[in-house]
Amino acid sequence: MKKIIDWFDERIGIRELFGHIANKQIPGGASFWYVLGSALLAIFALQVGTGIFLTFYYVPTPDHAYASVKFIQNEAIFGSFVRGLHHWGASFMVVIVALHMLRVLFFGSYKKPRELVWLSGVALLLLVLGFAFTGYLLPWDQKAYWATVVGTNIAATTPVLGQFLLRITRGGQELGALTLSRFFAVHTYILPASLALFAGLHVFLIERIGASGTYNAEKAAKKTEPLFPHQIYKDSLFFVLIFGAIIALAIWLPSMLEPQADPTDSSYNPRPEWYFYSMFQLLKIFEGRLEIVGTMVLPGALFGGLMLLPFLDRDPMRDPAKRPAVMTATFFGAILVVVLTIVGAQTPQTAQAAALSPTAKLGQKVFDSKNCTVCHKLNGKGGAVGPDLTHVAGRHDAAWMDKFLTDPQAVKPGIVMPKPEITAEERKNLIEFLQTLK
């Protein structure tokens, strides 16, 4: 072993490099507060390794994607286990990147001269969320399809550029082969390369500027400890705990696979993965004309605030007790996300399907038989001539619908919609169905 190390040392100075890294001093000493950043790199390595395994079997086309994932889940050697590792690794990555940013906020480590370190960290957060979003379409099951319909519809709410962004995201007006191939390419090529690039930049900037250490200036001045063995020991112990938890979850709670995607099933109630429940709940709170508040205004304010934080909070003081404004905003922001996530998780998964009474089901048949989706969108599928009916019951009550369907011109003079050729009974049933679209 010594001869091998000597061989490498003669060529690339491996001992000098290791000594440089190992002797990096941590102001205030080693701490479990600092294990989250290195844990993210370790989980990213796990995601790359398990992702490569999955691509050996996965076929990114609508007619083969579901079958290939089902083969991985049920027949491939260690397939279910590896898919479980990848699934739970994504969840842990989202949690740890959020905790890491909260730790940096608490310690004031975003302040001068670490503005670029902070900005690269915000970019890494966005990339991790991008991984999470593009990944759950790939199984092409019901949950993947309909959650992505809702997710991509968010792009359509962007002022001016909405429809353009929707077409770019989906590769057309509707989810299909181009959508799946684009999500696969972004998830397996563009995002891993981007995350590796920004992670390298993040580490490089920390190396150039130095570790921020504790917010306690007196403690930082009195005591320092080298990275090895003090911090490396704590990092390694945390790695063991994290990977043990991921392995246990992959074995005891394997990743699920719902029935194959059915684009014609408008009764399916779409739900995202848990880490997007807060956004899911915002969509339920802000409906109709207020939808843009939940899709653009609040998320934009959150990430805009994160990016501008080092330039707004320029006081060099890092003690959290002496930064009440930032600490209060951080506390209430974190509580809001947690509450929205919990409320979103408690929403019954089959709420819409259960709401379809026998009369509403007859109304759904009227809706389908009259080809209403030629002009109207429903759950992301359909035409754009008329208004989107996905949440129409949040905008109009049954009495208004009855008047409108009886004589559209009387309610909205000049409207292009003709009077529906349906009986009074069919109109009643149709309204019953439309009132479930909330």
pLDDT digits over 227-263, tens only? Answer: 888 889 999 999 999 999 999 999 999 898 888 998 8
pTM of the model: 0.78
Tokens representing 127 are 């990339």
How far apart, in whole angstroms, are the C-alpha atoms of residue 288 and residue 391? Answer: 7
**Domains with residue ranges and CATH for the chain:** 26-351 (1.20.810.10), 356-434 (1.10.760.10)
- Taking 60 as the threshold, does the pLDDT of residue 350 lie above it? no
pLDDT, tens only, 358-391? 888 888 888 888 778 778 877 766 777 788 887 7
How far apart, in whole angstroms, are the C-alpha atoms of residue 239 and residue 229? Answer: 15
pLDDT value at residue 352: 43
CB 389 within 8 A of CB 434: yes
pLDDT value at residue 380: 65
pLDDT, tens only, 177-223? 999 999 999 999 999 999 999 999 999 999 888 888 888 877 777 78
pLDDT, tens only, 260-278? 998 877 667 777 889 999 9
pLDDT, tens only, 408-438? 888 888 787 888 888 889 888 888 888 888 6
pLDDT value at residue 16: 80
How far apart, in whole angstroms, are the C-alpha atoms of residue 28 and residue 8? Answer: 34
For the chain, what is the HEC assignment?
A: CHHHHHHHHHHHCHHHHHHHHHCCEEECCCCHHHHHHHHHHHHHHHHHHHHHHHHCCCCCCCCCHHHHHHHHHHCCCCHHHHHHHHHHHHHHHHHHHHHHHHHHHHHCCCCCCCHHHHHHHHHHHHHHHHHHHHHCCCCCEHHHHHHHHHHHHHHHCCCCCHHHHHHHHHCCCCCCHHHHHHHHHHHHHHHHHHHHHHHHHHHHHHHHHCCCCCCCHHHHHHCEEEHHHHHHHHHHHHHHHHHHHHHHHHHHCCCCCCCECCCCCCCCCCCCCHHHHHHHHHHHHCCHHHHHHHHHHHHHHHHHHHHHHHHHCCCCCCCHHHCHHHHHHHHHHHHHHHHHHHHHHHCCCCHHHHHCCHHHHHHHHHHHHCCHHHCCEECCEECCCCCCCCCHHHCCCHHHHHHHHHCHHHHCCCCCCCCCCCCHHHHHHHHHHHCCCC
pLDDT value at residue 419: 84
pLDDT value at residue 351: 40
What are the angstrom distances between the C-alpha of 136 and each of 95, 133, 140, 213, 299?
Answer: 17, 6, 8, 37, 21
pLDDT value at residue 14: 80
Q: Is 50 exposed, middle or buried (0-12, 13-18, 19+ CB in 10 A)?
A: buried
